[in-house]
Amino acid sequence: MSLDLRHVRRVVEAALDEDAPYGDVTGRAFVPADARASASLVAREPGVLAGIEVFVVAMTTLDPDVVVEPRLVDGEWFEPGAVLATVDGPARAVLQAERVALNLVQRMSAVATLTARYVAAVEETGARVVDTRKTTPGLRLLERHAVRCGGGHNHRSSLSDAVMAKDNHLAVLQRSGLDLTEALRDGAARLSHTTHVEVEVDRLDQVEPVLASGVVDTIMLDNFSLDDLRRGVELVAGRAIVEASGGITLDTIGDVARTGVDVISVGALTHGYGSLDLGLDVEVGEAAGA
């Protein structure tokens, strides 16, 4: 579940610059330059931790004298009152970084916690819960890391990562005069042999023409009823990975998983979350030499 720290630093630096483009006027006016602060990152509600490395980067970027000691690692469950990390360093730097650091770790932990609930709902079915590209622009790598922390899995990382031919793609292809099977073969002929190909269908009568192309690795059954999902799994009969998608909630995902699908993609993991209630309890100490 490692993160690309180069990307983390870019995100953090942009966020810090957005939050204090010309410095922290409050800190400069009211906090002595040599004051120090000790703080604890404390959970106000239960959840799954995600983004502790991001929190560390956010708290230490402004001043290398700030020291952060994580108490938990990403993917661990915590209860209210748990201390997730401690912080010590120059008070101005700690107070200036506080909001950005909290924003990121709160949102990532919310994604992880929500994902864990979805994963628990399909336990023992064999279905894999995955995210989608419905992510916050600029934060995809962080949100997808959080999905993994919650026990979920990632779909294709980007449009450059794998093929997903959706209804609009197929409509454009078929305008060439080819039928669905031929259109898929024609498109796949322009791909590397290592490229994974997924095709979305929204009707059962599309399943066989898609599979007849011989180029499809995954077939997505989009917005199917439970009965049609079961029938779709039977039609595919192991010839491709079967993915279910479309409007899936915590209340419905268990039933969807029991239809026999292999993968369930849930956009809500990265666009339906809030912020987990985590706080930074700060104590400002005496100025050095006082």
Residue 288 has pLDDT above 80, yes or no: no
pLDDT value of position 44: 98
Residue 61 has pLDDT above 70, yes or no: yes
Known catalytic residues are 99, 134, 166, 200, 222
Residue 83 has pLDDT above 70, yes or no: yes
pLDDT value of position 119: 98
pLDDT value of position 123: 95
In the predicted model, what is the mean pLDDT of residues 1-19?
94
What's phi and psi for 269, nearest 5 deg?
Answer: -55, -40
The letter for the amino acid at 222 is: D
pLDDT value of position 286: 62
User: Quick check: 277 and 44 in contact, CB under 8 A?
Assistant: yes
pLDDT value of position 283: 84
In the predicted model, what is the mean pLDDT of residues 272-283?
92
Residue 60 has pLDDT above 80, yes or no: yes
pLDDT value of position 273: 84
Q: Which domains does the chain have, with CATH numbers?
A: 5-118+274-284 (3.90.1170.20), 122-271 (3.20.20.70)
Residue 126 has pLDDT above 60, yes or no: yes
pLDDT value of position 1: 62
The whole-angstrom separation of Cα 200 and Cα 169 is 10
Helix-strand-coil split of the chain, %, nearest 5: 40, 20, 40
Q: Is 65 exposed, middle or buried (0-12, 13-18, 19+ CB in 10 A)?
A: exposed
In the predicted model, what is the mean pLDDT of residues 110-135?
97
Comparing CA positions, the residue from 243, 273, 282 lying closest to residue 114 is: 273
In the predicted model, what is the mean pLDDT of residues 7-20?
98
Between strands 128-130 and 77-78, the pairing is unpaired
pLDDT value of position 287: 57
